[in-house]
Amino acid sequence: MSTLLSVRDLVVEVPAQNIKIIDGISFDLKAGETLGLVGESGCGKSMTCYAIANMLPKGVVHTQGKIDFCNHNATAPATAKPSIAMIFQDPTSSLNPVHTIGYYLQSTLARHQNLKGNDARMEAIRLLERVGINQAKQGLKAYPHQFSGGMNQRVMIAHALAAKPQLLIADEPTTALDVTMQAQILHLLEELKAETGMALIIVSHDLGVIARLADKAAVMYCGKITEAAPVADLLKKPVHPYARALIGCMPSINPENLEPPVPIPGAVPMLNDLPDGCYFHPRCAHARDVCGQVFPSPTPVNHAHTVSCYYPVVS
């Protein structure tokens, strides 16, 4: 498979406050692959996605590094690259409350597929039906407040599909949903990925979601990628203490191992008050003097597995 997305040495900053939100991360994504971005809140996962989609908030700037999508600069105007679509954590706040679902979808179809009138209406109905919304014709006349959170998330997915994306970015798409609806949305994403062949970036703090959907994962901490590996390798043999700690936070369903989850001590540091050296070292049981001096460079564990740690846990 060819490389669809290439991110190299990406730096995203808030210049007015001299804060680096993303600090020199690199990764590749091939067509049809799924990458999971995992880590605690405030580690830069969502901002990485906003940079890729050219949707950085006001005052936040992509200052260094390259984002190449289909061999084109991904920071070109959004209208020039309809092949990237994004769904968000809170679908209700992402939909305009004064417009109907039909207006929302049909205006997107007009922009990205040049469909208008009855053609746009029929395609909007097809998209709603595909994402599992019953009575799609009536759904076109509904407003977002008339749908549940799960239904609105399905609308967001239909809206993303209207752009026929080669890359779909899902930023915590199930966090605001109940457990049953979470499972349905994840199953829908699996089906759509298999049908369309699109690549997927999924952001989550839930390693269970990453294990289900992703082919490979990048563990982020304070704007850095601390470990990157195929998902099976990461879950079976994580080598960075932070990745191991995240996995230790997961509750077990194995009847032979019903030990309670182990919380990570401390908290993610503020980006304007980062420690010297490895940012995780104040919370790390394996830290030594060098860990507080210089941030470690990525080193290979094997051909597809890298870690940024002076003392990786290999046992």
pLDDT at 221 over 60: yes
pLDDT at 76 over 60: no
* Confidence label for 254 from pLDDT (cuts 50, 70 and 90): low
Last residue of a domain, one of 121, 141, 164: 164
Whether residue 127 sits in one domain with residue 188:
no
Whether residue 65 sits in one domain with residue 8:
yes
Whole-prediction pTM value?
0.90
* Residue 1 burial class via C-beta count within 10 angstroms: exposed 0-12, middle 13-18, buried 19 and up: exposed
Last residue of a domain, one of 164, 180, 203: 164
* Confidence label for 72 from pLDDT (cuts 50, 70 and 90): low
Whether residue 69 sits in one domain with residue 188:
yes
pLDDT of residue 74: 54
161-189 pLDDT, tens digit per residue, is 998 899 999 999 888 788 888 899 999 99
Instruction: With respect to residue 245, please indicate whether it lies within any of the assigned structural domains.
Output: yes
Instruction: With respect to residue 181, please indicate whether it lies within any of the assigned structural domains.
Output: yes
- Let me know: does 271 contact 223? Beta carbons within 8 Å: yes
Whether residue 203 sits in one domain with residue 130:
no
Mean pLDDT is lowest, of 45-54, 82-91, 226-235, for 82-91
In this structure, is the dihedral angle defined by the CA atoms of residues 235, 265, 220 and 94, taken in order, positive or negative? positive
pLDDT of residue 278: 96
Instruction: With respect to residue 269, please indicate whether it lies within any of the assigned structural domains.
Output: yes
pLDDT at 216 over 90: yes
Q: Where are the alpha helices (DSSP H) in the chain?
A: 45-52, 91-94, 101-113, 117-130, 136-139, 149-161, 179-196, 207-213, 231-236, 241-248
* Confidence label for 89 from pLDDT (cuts 50, 70 and 90): confident
Whether residue 160 sits in one domain with residue 171:
no
Whether residue 62 sits in one domain with residue 7:
yes
pLDDT at 80 over 50: no
Whether residue 241 sits in one domain with residue 294:
yes
What's the rounded Cα separation, in Å, for the pair 74 and 10?
Answer: 12
Looking up residue 254, the CATH number of its domain turns out to be 3.40.50.300
Instruction: With respect to residue 313, please indicate whether it lies within any of the assigned structural domains.
Output: no
13-52 pLDDT, tens digit per residue, is 999 999 999 999 999 999 999 999 999 999 999 999 999 9
Report the percent of the chain where pLDDT is more than 90: 73
Q: Please count the structural domains in the chain.
A: 2
What's the rounded Cα separation, in Å, for the pair 117 and 102?
Answer: 11
Whether residue 198 sits in one domain with residue 77:
yes
Instruction: With respect to residue 312, please indicate whether it lies within any of the assigned structural domains.
Output: no
pLDDT of residue 106: 95
Whether residue 28 sits in one domain with residue 58:
yes
- Let me know: does 74 contact 52? Beta carbons within 8 Å: yes
* Confidence label for 314 from pLDDT (cuts 50, 70 and 90): confident
- Let me know: does 291 contact 284? Beta carbons within 8 Å: yes
Instruction: With respect to residue 189, please indicate whether it lies within any of the assigned structural domains.
Output: yes
Whether residue 192 sits in one domain with residue 269:
yes
What's the rounded Cα separation, in Å, for the pair 276 and 262?
Answer: 26
Mean pLDDT is lowest, of 65-79, 198-212, 235-249, 263-277, for 65-79
176 versus 281: the higher-pLDDT residue is 281
* Confidence label for 159 from pLDDT (cuts 50, 70 and 90): very high
Last residue of a domain, one of 164, 194, 221: 164
Instruction: With respect to residue 315, please indicate whether it lies within any of the assigned structural domains.
Output: no
Whether residue 183 sits in one domain with residue 206:
yes
Per-residue pLDDT averaged across 285-314, rounded? 93
Average pLDDT value for the chain: 90
Instruction: With respect to residue 126, please indicate whether it lies within any of the assigned structural domains.
Output: yes
**Residue 61, SS3?**
strand
What's the rounded Cα separation, in Å, for the pair 50 and 12?
Answer: 10
What domain range includes position 62? 3-83+165-307
Whether residue 170 sits in one domain with residue 118:
no
pLDDT at 82 over 50: no
